[in-house]
Amino acid sequence: MSKRIIVIGSGAAGLTAASTARRVDPEASITVVTEDEHIAYSPCVIPWVLEGVGGWDSIVMHSPAFYKDERGIDVMIQTKVTGVDDERKVLVTEGGELPYDSLVIATGGTVFVPPIPGKDLPGVFSVRTINDGKRIQEWMGEVDSVSIVGAGVIGLEMALAMRHMGKKVSVIEMFPQVVPRILDADLAEMVQSYLEGQGVEFVMGAPIASVDGDGKVEAVTVGGRRIDCGMVIMATGVRANLEVPRMLELDIGELGAVRASPSMQPYRKGRLVRNVYMAGDVVMCESGVVPGPTMSQLGSSAVRQGIVAGTNAAGGSAMHPGVVSPWVSVIGDMQVAGTGLSKGLAEYYGIDVVEGVAQGYTRARYYPGGKKLVVKVLVERSSHRMVGAQIVSGEEATGRINWLTAAIVTGTTVEDFATYFENAYCPPTSMVRDVALNAADRAAEKL
C-alpha cells in the first residue's frame, strides 16, 4: 500500500511540504487539510492589494484542482482538524476520520491581540489572511482615519498602504522605536522619519490602553491621550497556533512554539516523536548565529522548513540548518532589510558587538537615479565574526542583504568579508566598491 501523508495547513509551509513529499515519493497518497478557504497565496502582499496593486483573485497562485490534477495532492479546504489519535494514527476532522502514516503539522500562527477593553468592537481588525484583507478593504471605504497598533514591518507596510488610500494614519508602538528587536535605533529613526514625511503620525513608547466606541470603533486611548479613528488594525505580533500540537501533547519551547529537531520532528516529554513533522510559524528552530532557539516567522523560512518536513515525511532524508532569517520590507520608496542579530538581540544573547556603518549610493555617484544607501554590519568583538547586518536604501536591498547573509552563515570574519567578498560592478547597479564592504572596513578599524 502506498504511504499516506497528511499535511495540516495550506500556508507556505504546508503546501511546500506536500509538493516536496510528492517529488520524493511519486506513489504516496498525499492530503492537505486546511481551515482556509483560499490556498496558495502569499499574505505578504496584502498591504499592496489594499492600496490597489492587483486584486484578491490575482494573488492566488493555485487552486485545489491544480494540486489534484498537476501534483496528485488532495486539498480539503474549510476543514478544521479537531483531534489527532497518535496511537491509531488517525486525524479527526469535522467531516470524519483520516488515517495517516506520516503527519506534517504546519498550522502557522495567529495574530496576538492585546487583551484591552474594546478589542472586539466592530472596526478592529488583524491582518493574516485574504479574508482579513477583504474585511479591512470593506470597512476602510467608510472611514477616513486609521490607527495601526504595532510598528513592526507589517504595521508600517499597512500604515503606508492606508496613507496611499488617503487615510489619516496613526501608528501606536509600545517600544521607543519602530521595527523593534530586529532593527537598530539609528536605522529605525530613518524609517520613522521617512514615514512621518509621508504624513504618518507616531505615538511611541506607550502601549494602547483601550479601543473606544459605542457599537463600533470611534477612537483609541494611548498614554492618556484619545486619538479619534474609524478603524484599528492590530499588527501586534504572531503567536504559534498550538491547538493541534497540544492535541498531540508536543513539547512547547521557551519561545512559545513547538520545539523541533533538525529533521523537523517535534518532541514529547523530551523524546522525538516518530512520523510527525513540523514546519513554519508554529515551530521554533535553532539560530544559525548563536547556540539556542529562535523564531523565524518568515514565509521564506516556512518554505525551507516545509522542504525538510515534506522530504522526511515521505521517507527521504533532510536536515534543517540553523536560521539567520534575512528579511526585507518595502515601505514606499524605502527598502529596509536585516539579517542575523541586531544590537538588541546581540545584547539579549550576551554577545559583545562592534558596529561599522557606511553611507553611499546604490549606483555610481555620477550615474543618474542613484539612491542613498546605508549599511551597518555587526561583528562579534572576540572572534571578529560577522553576526548581523542592516540596510536602509532606496533600492537593491535584497541582493545586498543576501550577500551579507552568506558571510554570516559561513562564519566569515569582517576582515575576510572586506578582503575576499568581491562585488560585481556596473555604474547603474552599484558603486565601484560596494557600500557593504565600506561598512565592514569601518567595523574592522575598531577591532
Ligand X SMILES: Cc1cc2nc3c(=O)[nH]c(=O)nc-3n(C[C@H](O)[C@H](O)[C@H](O)COP(=O)(O)OP(=O)(O)OC[C@H]3O[C@@H](n4cnc5c(N)ncnc54)[C@H](O)[C@@H]3O)c2cc1C
Q: What is the set of active-site residues?
A: 44
At 269, the amino acid letter reads: K
Provide the minimum distance between the beta carbon of 189 and ligand X in the complex, in angstroms, as a whole number: 22
Long-range CB pairs of 320-323, under 8 A, 24+ apart, other chains included:
320/260, 320/262, 320/263, 320/264, 320/285, 320/286, 321/262, 321/286, 321/288, 322/285, 322/286, 322/287, 322/288, 322/289, 323/285, 323/286, 323/287, 323/288, 323/294, 323/296
Gap between the Cα atoms of 317 and 145, Å rounded: 52
Provide the minimum distance between the beta carbon of 85 and ligand X in the complex, in angstroms, as a whole number: 15
CA angle 408, 414, 417 (to 5 degrees): 75
CA angle 329, 331, 335 (to 5 degrees): 55
Q: Considering beta carbons, is residue 35 or 395 the nearer one to ligand X?
A: 35
Q: Which helix (H) or strand (E) holds 263?
A: none
Neighbour count for residue 275 (Cβ, 10 Å) = 14
Q: Considering beta carbons, is residue 228 or 243 the nearer one to ligand X?
A: 243
Asked whether 20 and 58 are in contact (CB, 8 A), the reply is no
Beta bridge partners, 76, equal 33
Provide the minimum distance between the beta carbon of 243 and ligand X in the complex, in angstroms, as a whole number: 5
Q: Considering beta carbons, is residue 96 or 291 the nearer one to ligand X?
A: 96
Provide the minimum distance between the beta carbon of 400 and ligand X in the complex, in angstroms, as a whole number: 17
Gap between the Cα atoms of 174 and 208, Å rounded: 7
Q: Which helix (H) or strand (E) holds 222?
A: strand 219-222
Q: Considering beta carbons, is residue 253 or 280 the nearer one to ligand X?
A: 280
3-state secondary structure at position 343: helix
Sheet holding 276-278, edge to edge: 73-76, 29-33, 4-8, 102-105, 276-278
Give contact residues for ligand X (rule: CB under 6 A): 8-14, 33-36, 43-44, 46, 80-81, 106-109, 127-128, 154, 241, 243-244, 280-281, 297-300, 302
Q: Considering beta carbons, is residue 9 or 180 the nearer one to ligand X?
A: 9
Provide the minimum distance between the beta carbon of 297 and ligand X in the complex, in angstroms, as a whole number: 5
3-state secondary structure at position 24: helix
Provide the minimum distance between the beta carbon of 438 and ligand X in the complex, in angstroms, as a whole number: 27
Q: Considering beta carbons, is residue 398 or 423 the nearer one to ligand X?
A: 398
